[in-house]
A and B are shown apart, each in its own frame.
Chain A
Amino acid sequence: MHAAASPPAATSEQDAAIVIDRVDKFFGNVHALRSLSAKIDYSRLTGLAGPDGAGKTTLMRILTGLLAPDAGCVTLAGFDVVKDNDAIHVASGYMPQRFGLYEDLTVMENMRLYAQLRGMDTGQHADLFARLLDFTRLAPFTSRLAGKLSGGMKQKLGLACALMARPRVLLLDEPGVGVDPVSRQDLWRMVQALTGEGMAVVWSTAYLDEAERCDSVLLLNEGRLVFDGPPSELTGRLKNRSFRLEAAGAQRRAILAEALDLESVGDGVIQGAGIRIVLRADAEMEQIQALASRVGASLTPVPARFEDAFIDLLGGGPGGTSALAEHLPPVELPSDIAVSCRNLTKRFGDFVATDNVSFEVRKGEIFGLLGPNGAGKSTTFKMLCGLLKPTSGEAHVAGLDLRRAPGAAKAQLGYMAQKFSLYGLLSVHQNLEFSAGVYGLDSATRRKRIEEMIRIFDLHDWLSAAPDSLPLGHKQRLALACALMHHPPVLFLDEPTSGVDPVTRREFWTHINGLARKGVTIMVTTHFMDEAEYCDRVAMLYRARLIALDTPDALKRGAASTDRPDPAMEDAFIHLVETSALADEVKAGA
């Protein structure tokens, strides 16, 4: 397979696409990579996983020759990344985190640019382009500007650009961020086809369900390699430690909080009406069994997941008690309905982004808005929190009409934007001051609340730092603190954990669960199906319409079939989308 390639390296290295040999990298005083050694093979999909700040992106940038290691050496396809820097760029394709696409160029223009930069002559274009367009299913959109594509389409275009001139090694930096399950499935299909052709693909990710699907995983933590091998090897260590508490019902959040505070429990997440528990190594089952029988839930063993192993390797997840929620007073609302919308419609010219959507969200409910990229999820979400004016229909928050009393309604909601949207030019403390002030808190309350938030979220050491210099987890805490400063009864979260590692994500959801128990209503959009499991109810949007609205368990049940008796949330998502698309086609045909 690789006979045609004859890099100047020794033949013994022939089988390894990438050889990393005792690599160190410093940024100032920060030791980003510590004596890292690993091999990455051809024809395989290698996952690069680890919590935020583990050194994933640094390693990726070294592999592409954008950064030079301070010690050690790296060879890619037989070329040294420092000495043969130019050859590296020929042998590898790289897709950076932010796509690297030119938003004001069309799909075709982007592809042509990268093709030419990789030294392909124009004669070969037509044939390869047709294949790539077919492969990425972007053919109908060749003349659309890249900036106008949805997140999933951007990722696919980014991949197509990185694939120009057939690199032997493909490096993808967090390609799964902001991509809906349908597009993600496409990405997997594409990558698997490539490895089948002999390419070495490195997929860096913070999502461990993605890592689990890789042939081999390099797990980084604090700059060190903590695991190297097939994911099953790591999950194998967790035999008989994963359980599911069934039928926990309405009390599941309280039970989870209690379970997580148990000494023997290392990790736990909500899955629909049930709870998934992972015990600590060598822990006894007594405690959890006692808890299960007390609340009348059944405890069944389930197979371990890679994520369980990962959290275990890092020493378990955070505890179950949210100091934040404990400080909040219970929410009082005049009615039991916290958020509602009736016949909500939004048109941009001829294009209908949201078509006649109605639903009601009860007080204290966690309500998820799901849908593929471009289904009208964001538009609906933005109308509900007053960022967009509906073309027709109405939206109420805490009983207040967003159109008639926008100021009063907005005072009732907290909002955490995608990528956190903190003021990068202000310090942490100044950000807190600002959000307290912009919601009109008087100075005594302001001082008290800020003190409180600093204590709860442990922000003391960062007060004068710039938000961008914060570790991701702290950044998320800060964003949450800012959104909750005025104790809103309704909290809007727009893809709150996009690109966030599992540990940080768990901490975040501990707070959210706590808030919901205090009666705070949570509205959340997400692409992350594990997150959808936390919701009480999920609204599925597709082609601007509401196609399903139910509990996660009911949605999963609806997707069950004989070949898949126990579908995951992701399967349910894809099932709903496919059935709806089919129904549309039938209607169009009739």
Chain B
Amino acid sequence: MSCHDFRTMLIRLHAQFIKELLCILRDPRNRVVVFVPPLLQLLIFSYAATLEVRNVDIAVYNQDTGREAQEFVWHLEAARFIAQVHHVHSNTALREQLAQGKVIAAITLPADFSRSIAISGSGHVQVLIDGRRSNSGQIVMGYLSSIARDIRFTADTLPVPETSIAVRHWFNPDLDYLWFIVPGLTGTLAFFSALMITALSIARERELGTFDQLLVSPASTLEIVLSKSLPALVISTLLAFLMIAMAIWFFRIPFTGAFGLLLIGLVLFVLSAVGIGLVISAISMTQQQAILGGFVIGVPTVLISGFATPVENMPVLLQWLAQAIPLTHFLIIIEGCFLKALPPRDILDHLWPLAIIALAALPMAMIFARNRLQ
């Protein structure tokens, strides 16, 4: 390729790039839709996505009149994770409260509770937990056990043996859930943004008839595919930037890693999402198919990526599949860069899979776009 050819190619690419960008951003409604909802979602979902348990109600059926029973109830009422303790006076009422989902746990203190403590130093309480909320239920049970463990009624009860176990949570000493969820959401929202913008790009031109106009121009398929990836790359990277800025300055999440490496990771990640989006777009005949295709690919991808639940909890087959998903790798990079000061070698381990996915998807999009020309 001569120097002149290369220059005209750059001019063509530039023109197409501007066109794509304007197609997405010229309409003020689109501009709002591209940037505002993801940022709002980050704000709302970051607070919503928590596996901690707070503000739950529990029910207590206290059949005992003894001091020990009363003291236990007081402890419950003082517990921080409990919003309200409902006192009920029959087993039926207790079960009903639980069944109707009004409380997450229902505690029965038997009539001989105090007497049993007085005689044997230990009393039993029955705790019914709502298994519909299995995860929260387990956590509530853990909290209740520790309340029970820490109560001392008399000096002569056997002391629970002390241990000298020191627990330290690295990277996130208070186990603040926000620190985990905000970087993860950033990746997920950027992924959806890039996927949807590109999924529509070829399909829209095909539906509106401008794709032919593009194909009769000297622009090659490579140029068309490249020019369609660049604007989405720019927009979604910018969006991710805004979200990272929010994470640092609004959510006050410590950023400990190398920003430059995160940036490289981000670009590669968005590029691979763009590649997947373009493949969907090249296959689809209509915009509707492109959108639904985006969903069918996007939703499972996010689920397998480990955004909501850890990859290591999954069956081995899915763990392998997760390795082929760009979001899986990017989540490790972004969370590592925020909290763990992830060293370059570890980042590199996750950069090359991203590069491979991007490099595989873009030619595939080209092949599909070309095949549709017959």
Contacts and interface: CB of A to CB of B under 8 A. Distances in A.
Contacts of A30: none
Contacts of B213: 415, 417, 421
Interface in A436-451: 436-443, 446
B218 interface: yes
B215 A386 contact: yes
B18 A425 contact: no
Given A410-B218, A438-B217, A388 B212 contact: no
Contacts of B27: 425
A544 to B, nearest CB: 16
Nearest to B8: A440
B216 interface: yes
Contacts of B9: 440
Interface in B1-44: 7-9, 11-12, 14-16, 18-19, 22-23, 26-27
A440 B218 contact: yes
Interface string B145-187: 0000000000000000000000000000000000000000000
A407 interface: yes
Given A421-B208, A439-B12, A388 B374 contact: yes
A408 B23 CA distance: 27
B315 interface: no
B186 to A, nearest CB: 28
B204 to A, nearest CB: 9
Contacts of A424: 208
Interface stretch (A75-83, A288-296, A360-368, A426-434): A426-434
A540 B15 CA distance: 38
B9 to A, nearest CB: 7
A20 B209 CA distance: 38
Nearest to B17: A437
Interface residues of B, number: 28
B323 interface: no
B373 interface: yes
A438 B15 contact: yes
B111 interface: no
Contacts of A427: 26
Find the residue from B7, B22, B218 having the highest chain A CB count within 10 A. Answer: B218
A453 to B, nearest CB: 15
B208 A441 contact: no
A119 to B, nearest CB: 31
Interface string A470-512: 0000000000000000000000100000000000000000000
Number of contact residues on A: which range applies?
35 or more
A421 B208 CA distance: 7
Interface in B177-199: none
Nearest to B26: A425
A89 interface: no
Nearest to A347: B374
B287 interface: no
Given A407-B218, A411-B218, A430-B19, A387 B373 contact: yes
A234 B220 CA distance: 54
B261 interface: no
Contacts of B18: 430, 433-434, 437
A442 B7 CA distance: 8
A439 B217 contact: yes
A437 B14 contact: yes
Nearest to A427: B26
A418 interface: yes
Contacts of B11: 437, 440-443, 446
Interface of B: 7-9, 11-12, 14-16, 18-19, 22-23, 26-27, 208-210, 212-220, 373-374
23 contacts: A386-B216, A387-B212, A387-B216, A387-B373, A388-B373, A411-B218, A415-B217, A417-B209, A417-B212, A417-B213, A419-B209, A422-B210, A423-B19, A423-B210, A425-B23, A426-B23, A434-B19, A437-B14, A437-B15, A437-B16, A440-B9, A440-B11, A440-B218
Given A423-B19, A433-B15, 13 more contacts: A387-B373, A388-B373, A407-B220, A417-B209, A417-B212, A423-B210, A426-B26, A434-B18, A437-B11, A437-B14, A437-B18, A438-B217, A441-B11
